[in-house]
Amino acid sequence: MKLIEAKQHFISSWGAFGTHWGINRTMAQIHALLLISSDPLTQDDIMEELTISRGNTNMNIRELINWGLVDRLLLSGERKEYFTAEKDIWKVVKQIVKERKKRELEPMLQLLDKLEEVEGDKRDKHVKSFVDTISGIKKLGKQADRTLDTMIKAEESWFISSLMKVFK
């Protein structure tokens, strides 16, 4: 397979992959493109490469910057802005985990805390079924939260070697 073909393949697959994880296709594609580019790219480069509009490109780059996955780069003597993606995939994964934890897991845990305090007789099977389910989710969720915190702080080498020992 030629490089150009392989790149296209990767970009489109990464885009499709993203849609299964609640990330829009274009955002995932821009990320993929920046991941495999040896040099920083401008908005125009990205528009042209992915054949998408200026507005779409701009909004999704901004969103990637919010997620901490892409950096704006000002080259001296150049008026245009350039963009690069973090290439160390372990850092990328940690960053995504960090953001999703903050945006989704933490609010969910707060909600579960409130729901667990529902009024009513705990011996009533309807109440019991509800509280048991909520408690179970909360317990696992809190564990996941702690585990992810540690993961976010970890080095890749540490992650791999430690998990290799345990998960065996």
Compute the least distance from the CB of residue 45 to DNA, in Å: 10
Residues lying near its own copies in the complex (CB under 8 A): 1-3, 6-7, 9-10, 13, 17, 19-22, 35-38, 87-90, 93, 100, 103-104, 108, 111, 114-115, 117-120, 125-130, 132-134, 136-137, 139-140, 143, 146-147, 150-151, 156, 160, 162-163, 165-168
Inter-CA distances, 42 with 11, 36, 45, Å: 17, 14, 5
Nearer to its own copies, 48 or 53 (CB): 48
Using CB under 7 A, which of 55, 114, 119, 157 touches DNA?
55
Q: Which of 6, 13, 80, 152 binds DNA (CB under 7 A)?
A: 80
On the CB side of 117, CA atoms within 13 Å amount to 4
By CB under 7 A, tell whether 26 contacts DNA: yes
* 8 is a contact residue toward DNA (CB under 7 A): no
Which 8-state DSSP code applies to residue 104?
I
Q: For the stretch 17-50, what's the b/e string if a residue is b when 16 or more beta carbons lie within 10 angstroms of its beta carbon?
A: ebeeeebebbbbbbbbbbbebeebbbbebbbebb
Paired residues of 70 in beta bridges: 85
Report the residue number, 61 or 112, with the smaller CB distance to DNA. Answer: 61
| Identity of the residue, 53 or 162, whose beta carbon is nearer to its own copies in the bound complex | 162
- What is the enclosing helix (H) or strand (E) of 2? none
The answer to whether the beta carbons of residues 35 and 85 sit under 8 Å apart is yes
